[in-house]
Chains A and B, each alone.
Chain A
């Protein structure tokens, strides 16, 4: 009986590992678990571009919406890791563009059912990386591994947007 209690205590501790960041207690899911979930039944990531064809070198405005498609309110960290990745995932060394790096622990947002969180980013400094002769297909990726923070439960997972098409004027 005593051994069973000790085992339960040990497994309980292992399940609830946490980090203290600046006095904030956070609980995270493992990165492997995070990276294998690209869909959620609760949240959807949608993308919008003001235009598809851009002048090569100008900042590209990328508008993202995180929509709560469930019937429950969901707490989330809107400014978590957000980046663009090449839609073609068949090779290593593919190019990614960070839209937001670092998990912002200061901004928890509660999304009511069917509520939307809007995020706007500017993609700049891509001239060295992209070729203006080509057309690009990217996905926006939102991910957050923190499922509990300061006693509040949060959305943790990885969301992939619809395809973001970017083209450039050839003149």
Chain B
């Protein structure tokens, strides 16, 4: 069995952050257990710390945009990792959970959208509310700048005049992303989906992994979007249709006309465990 790192993410987290958090937790635990002396570190301390850190990294990415829900999730995550740490060292599990919950809630509050937006002068608002304010003022370029979306807003581009419903595209030669007004009118989660998909294409183009054929590249783009639906849980895109539409044309997910009708056994099918892709996730990693 070969593990293929399709999008450079482990459990949905960027590889580099996952590895960094795991190693840092292992080292932090070694230092903590030896009163700050890292020279005499022990492997079991490192492994225990790394295990707790990895668990926290996986759990910490989930959560929803509401401040109180996030706080509750942060406390819960902290309680689990704190309890786990205490259990690994035979310490009082309840104490560990209380301490972890306090740290987790604090971390959730510090990384909340509301606090971040307040500090950036947009008031105690979620990202969605800030985005909606930009859209109601038709300040699309401002929204892109605020949310760190690469590319340019150019509704007068010839492509959009030809195809008014196209929301965005990436130029294959330069990797430049161009957005249409349509990209902003479907709500925050649909906007995030579009920007995410274009970022997938640009990464693939710049790394030389982009498919030669348009339909194949679109299929791969939509597959990555499918695996990351938790980042934009309120989207209204029919992703399965998109994968099969482009996948059929590309020959990746072909359908066959047979004497008794249509054989769809080789098309992209939803599996029971795909619910994991739809669990709401935060973009802090």
A22 touches B260 (CB 8 A): yes
Complex: how many Å from CA A136 to CA B252? 28
Q: Give chain A nearest CB distance to B136 CB in angstroms.
A: 26
Contact A102/B216 with A93-B166, A131-B161 known, Cβ cut-off 8 Å: no
Contact yes or no, A102 B172, CB < 8 A = no
Would you call A68 an interface residue if the criterion is a C-beta within 8 Å of the partner chain's C-beta atoms? no
Nearest CB on B from A133, distance (A): 8
Q: Could you mark each residue 244-268 of chain B with 1 if its beta carbon is under 8 Å from any beta carbon of chain A, else 0?
A: 0100111110111111101101100
Residue of A nearest to B262 (CB): A102
Q: Mark B80-96, 1 if CB is under 8 A from A, else 0.
A: 00000000000000000
Task: Determine if B76 is an interface residue (Cβ-Cβ < 8 Å).
Answer: no
A95 part of interface (Cβ distance < 8 Å):
yes
A89 within 8 A of B: yes
A105 contacts the other chain (CB 8 A): yes
Whether A128 lies near B258 (C-beta < 8 A) is no
| Beyond A35-B250, A36-B212, A130-B162, 10 additional pairs, beta carbon < 8 A | A22-B259, A31-B250, A31-B252, A35-B215, A91-B171, A92-B201, A94-B169, A105-B256, A136-B162, A143-B249
Q: Spell out B's residues near A (CB within 8 Å).
A: 159, 161-173, 198, 201, 211-218, 221, 245, 248-252, 254-260, 262-263, 265-266
Residues of chain A having any CB pair with chain B under 8 Å: 19, 21-22, 24, 28, 31-32, 34-36, 79, 81, 83, 85, 88-96, 98, 101-106, 128-131, 133-134, 136, 143, 145
In the A-B complex, the 3 residue pairs with the closest CB atoms: A35-B213, A31-B251, A22-B258
